[in-house]
Structure 1
């Protein structure tokens, strides 16, 4: 006897809540697992706490006695892995524990890690995929995008006036937005593996690119700063004092830079460069999320947030889908994505 469909879906909702407790950055996905009894009640639950720690399924199983998992249903946000990395295969752990059924939301897209569902079925376990798949796909969007495209998930951020200017005519830009919007930027930096800028921004603004809290203290999670461009970062630049160090790419090839970052295990990049880097990312189709801070002010002049995008006629415009809007002390925060891009 297995739990009802309603109980499995409720278990998946709980598994997603648990998954959110795991680290938002790093090479591994956020995964949650709930072990259900036949009547739908929860016997144990777990989540993945980062690279090298037990996966969600093993974490949940560890909270039971040696034979207590027999006959239970494992509800997991991502298909159980079937490979040995820093930890062993979750498919084998579930088989050894004697679970009778496994329900998962999203299939694992990895060539090395996928195949857990097939291994479990071959071992006599009832397996159902696609439970709350839309919710789980959205939750795992960053990691899935990186896994499927072979490059990090890219968030492009800029702050501008309502008329689209990122600076006044003399180049001054501090501050277009208010403190609340700037705090939000720091929170977003902390939720990405890398913060990326061009050498033009480094030379013009000398940014520190750290993630800081209300008291200006460093947040626990810090992105790795990466500079795109051929000019060296000056010796006395603030970036050279960043707690994570500094990566100078020596290249303006964004595609190659992102590919190299992917090989280093980077799964998310926060692009804060000026119009040159930002526009290149848009032109090349590398942007997954747009994070735009609009201040209720007008500047006029030539200092636009973006420059040439290769849009010669209105038919070539890059239409976006706005997914959220938030007002922070008068500044409007807009999150958008390409209308036609899919994670799956």
Structure 2
């Protein structure tokens, strides 16, 4: 089947037509994007310049921060530019790029969050085997498997989207190119494609969520045999992870475990995994983590004092 398209660009309807709302969103999202870049960059530098890099949890946290920057940067700058300039057109090629990067990086983030939950599970439930299970070779293999696996999962979705015929209306009721809004304006019946995409992404999301739920349930059950100090530290770590899971998986479950259609609320919920969660991740993983706060304080104190010495 050859791709049939008579249009070279789409029009993104955005979040609102109200000028005051657009100004408010521009300021808000610009601040959020700057905070996201600064927060995740601080985490990356702090871990890379401290021995924390050799610990599995912080090795995965680097991956998470990198992914937050990557997939948010594929959507947010365009959104901010549209709100500032008032133009909301997007080329066909850039639209397909957004479809691929959003699903590719978001899917990888789902499994990175899962591996980060696996680390405390092993540390609490299998402490004597921790170094053997979570050694660097296995962590590297796990990360490689996630990237390769998600490319294999995301590329067919992009292929199906690119083979859709677009020959009529080119208005997308969203602030970025996503699969389901694009299916709505295709020139053919896309019900089967929608169901296929829902099964593919929905089953993956549900299975991962169930695994995470079971792992935290086992951790909480096992904590009954630990000291009060050990329970407090483990609960603090788990609370951070659970916060991320709720923010990220809540909208994902709403999108992919339902009938293949679109709702006005989709755009608002999409803000959680495109902007809000990536902004919150640095706060969640640093404010509740004493080791991470100490590492950041030492790294940046050293950098600032070094600059003062040479000035």
Report TM bin, short chain: under 0.3
Bigger share in strand:
1
Which has the bigger relative contact order, CA under 8 A and spacing at least 6? 2
TM-score (norm. length: structure 1) = 0.21
Larger Rg: 1
Bigger share in helix:
2
